[in-house]
Amino acid sequence: MAAFNHKLYLVTDDAACLGRDLVTVVEAAVLGGVDLVQIREKYLPENAFLEKTLRLKEMLDKYNTPLIVNDNLQVASRAGAAGIHVGNNDIAPAEILQQWSACGILGYSLEYEEHLQSSHVKLADYVALSPVFSTPTKTDTVTEWGLDGITHIRSLTTKPIVAIGRVNAKNAGNIIRAGADCLAVVSAICSAPAPAKAAEEIRNEIEKA
């Protein structure tokens, strides 16, 4: 089980970067205060996904910022990533740990409260409350947890809680005060005119909360 003490987690979306180079946007975000990055590519063929992951990892290694790969165990292990994030419809955590002994951080999306008792959650280093607020960035979701949902799940588990879904500088403080340990963000950073400044503003709200 890996320690998890990250606070601001950038989940990438090339399409949200407004035509700018993804590595440049992510580097700015890291300089602004992002301390964990996930590469999320739902539609790239595996070779292109791996190539992009390696390019991003080369930059992130300069900052000692860990890179998590979404969904794809082959890409995660071949790139020597710091870990993987999966959900209910992906490869199961037990299978990941069986096939990838070097897996560091294993993240799992919590979509149903009943799954909190599952072996998937037991094996995870953090649970993502997904989504905390409904978001146009990902529409195939089940439960909008809201702030009360975070507080409720906080009372039921000691696992680190990551909140994702329409997180921004305005709601960051409330989400942390509700019980989240870490905020995961796509558009409020990737689509910001100045990603470094956007990351810094969210980070400041986290630190103040």
Ligand X SMILES: Cc1ncc(COP(=O)(O)OP(=O)(O)O)c(N)n1
Minimum gap (Å) between residue 87 Cβ and ligand X:
2
Residue 73: CB atoms within 10 Å: 18
Residue 87 touching Mg ion (CB under 5 A): yes
Q: Is 90 annotated as contributing to ligand binding?
A: yes
Burial bucket for residue 89 (CB in 10 Å: 0-12, 13-18, 19+):
exposed
Alpha-carbon gap, residue 131 to 51, rounded angstroms? 29
Alpha-carbon gap, residue 96 to 77, rounded angstroms? 10
Q: Is 206 annotated as contributing to ligand binding?
A: no
CB closer to Mg ion, 7 vs 85: 85
Alpha-carbon gap, residue 160 to 5, rounded angstroms? 8
Residue 189 touching ligand X (CB under 6 A): no
Minimum gap (Å) between residue 60 Cβ and Mg ion:
21
CB closer to ligand X, 79 vs 164: 164
- Rg, C-alpha atoms of the chain: 16
Alpha-carbon gap, residue 156 to 117, rounded angstroms? 10
Q: Which of residues 79-108 bind ligand X (CB under 6 A)?
A: 85-87, 90, 107
CB closer to Mg ion, 11 vs 196: 11
Alpha-carbon gap, residue 25 to 17, rounded angstroms? 7
Residue 66 touching ligand TZP (CB under 6 A): no
Residues that bind ligand X (CB under 6 A): 9, 11, 38, 40, 70-71, 85-87, 90, 107, 109, 128, 130, 138, 162, 164, 184
Residues that bind ligand TZP (CB under 6 A): 11, 130-131, 135, 137-138, 164-167, 185-188
